C-alpha cells in the first residue's frame, strides 16, 4: 500500500490498481470549489488505476453536498465548472467506481455517490437532493436520476427535495447494496476482490457499453443543463434569495412568479 497523498480536502490512498479517495472536510465533508478542483486534479493523475473507491471521512456522513456560499451569482459559474469537470472525467475514464456511503449523502454528495458504478450504503444512510429548498436545482441529478430511477421518482426527489433512507434509495435503483452500519468499508473491499478476479479489459469495455446504452449523451445533456442553470435559473430573484436566506439562517421570501 502506497503512502496517502493529501491534497487539502481529500486524501488519495493507492492500493495496487485501486485508488481510495476520501472526502475530508469536517464535519460533513461539504464540497467547496477548492475541494472540487482537488478531486478533478486527483482524477487526472489516476489514469493508471482501474478502480476508484469514494468515501467520506468522519462519523457524520459521506457528504452533505456543495458549499452553499459557492452558489452565489459571483461564484456559481466557477463552482459548477469545477464540479462538473469531476463528472466529465468519471464519464470519460476507464475506472470502475464504488461509493461507500454512511450517514448523510445529500446534494452534490448524492450526485457524486449515485454517479458511481456501485453504491454501497449503510442502513442508516440518508440520500436526497434538497437544492429546490434553496431556490435552485441539481444539474447532474437532472441528467442522471431519470435514467437511474425513472422520470416519476426523479421528479419526486428533485421537486420535493425530500430525504430518503438507504432502503428506499436501493428500491429506486440509486443504491447497489445496503449493509449493516459499520460494514460498508468491508463490503467495498469484498466487492473490490470480486472485481479484481475478472478481466480488466472486459470490465472496462462492458462498463463503456453500459454507459453508452441507448446513445445516452451525458456530456451533451450536462452542458445544456449547466447553461440553463446559469442562463435562466441564476437570473431569477428567487435563486439569489434562497441562497441568501440559507446563509442568513432565515426562511426565504419567494418573489418570482
- 22-45 per-position pLDDT tens digit: 999 999 999 999 999 999 999 999
Mean of all residue pLDDT scores within the chain: 95
Domains of the chain: 5-182+198-211 (3.90.226.10)
* Range in 175-179, 185-189, 208-212 the model is least confident about: 208-212
Closest CA to 127 of 178, 202, 76, 188: 178
Is cis: bond before 113, omega within 30 of 0?
no
Q: Which residues are known catalytic residues?
A: 111, 131
User: Over the stretch 86-97, which tens digit does the pLDDT of each residue have?
Assistant: 999 999 999 999
The size of the chain, in residues, is 257
Task: Tell me the sheet residues that pair with 52.
Answer: 19, 97
Q: At 216, is the pLDDT very low, low, confident or very high (cuts 50, 70, 90)?
A: confident
Q: pTM for the whole thing?
A: 0.96
pLDDT at 173 (0 to 100) = 97
Q: In terms of C-beta density within 10 A (0-12 exposed, 13-18 middle, 19 or more buried), how is residue 41 classed?
A: middle
Amino acid at each position: 500500500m502506497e503512502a496517502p497523498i493529501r491534497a487539502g480536502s481529500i486524501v488519495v490512498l493507492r492500493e495496487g490498481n485501486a485508488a481510495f479517495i476520501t472526502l475530508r472536510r469536517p464535519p460533513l465533508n461539504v464540497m467547496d470549489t477548492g475541494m472540487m478542483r482537488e478531486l478533478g486534479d486527483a482524477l487526472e493523475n489516476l489514469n493508471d488505476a482501474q478502480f476508484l473507491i469514494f468515501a467520506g471521512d468522519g462519523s457524520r456522513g459521506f457528504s452533505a453536498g456543495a458549499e452553499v456560499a459557492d452558489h452565489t451569482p459571483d461564484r456559481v459559474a466557477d463552482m459548477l465548472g469545477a464540479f462538473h469537470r469531476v463528472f466529465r472525467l468519471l464519464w470519460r475514464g476507464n475506472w470502475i467506481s464504488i461509493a461507500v456511503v454512511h450517514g448523510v449523502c445529500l446534494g452534490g454528495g448524492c450526485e457524486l455517490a449515485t454517479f458511481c458504478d456501485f453504491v454501497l450504503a449503510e442502513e442508516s444512510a440518508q440520500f436526497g437532493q434538497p437544492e429546490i429548498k434553496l431556490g435552485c436545482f441539481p444539474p447532474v441529478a437532472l441528467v442522471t436520476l431519470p435514467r437511474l430511477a425513472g422520470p416519476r421518482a426523479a421528479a419526486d426527489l428533485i421537486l420535493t427535495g425530500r430525504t430518503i433512507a438507504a432502503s428506499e434509495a436501493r428500491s429506486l435503483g440509486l443504491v447497489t447494496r445496503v449493509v449493516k452500519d459499520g460494514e460498508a468499508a468491508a463490503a467495498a473491499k469484498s466487492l473490490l476482490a470480486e472485481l479484481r478476479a475478472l478481466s480488466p479489459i472486459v470490465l472496462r469495455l462492458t462498463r463503456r457499453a453500459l454507459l453508452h446504452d441507448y446513445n445516452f449523451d451525458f456530456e451533451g445533456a450536462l452542458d445544456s443543463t449547466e447553461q440553463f442553470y446559469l442562463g435562466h435559473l441564476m437570473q431569477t430573484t428567487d435563486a439569489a434569495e434562497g441562497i441568501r436566506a440559507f446563509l442568513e439562517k432565515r426562511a426565504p421570501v419567494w418573489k418570482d412568479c
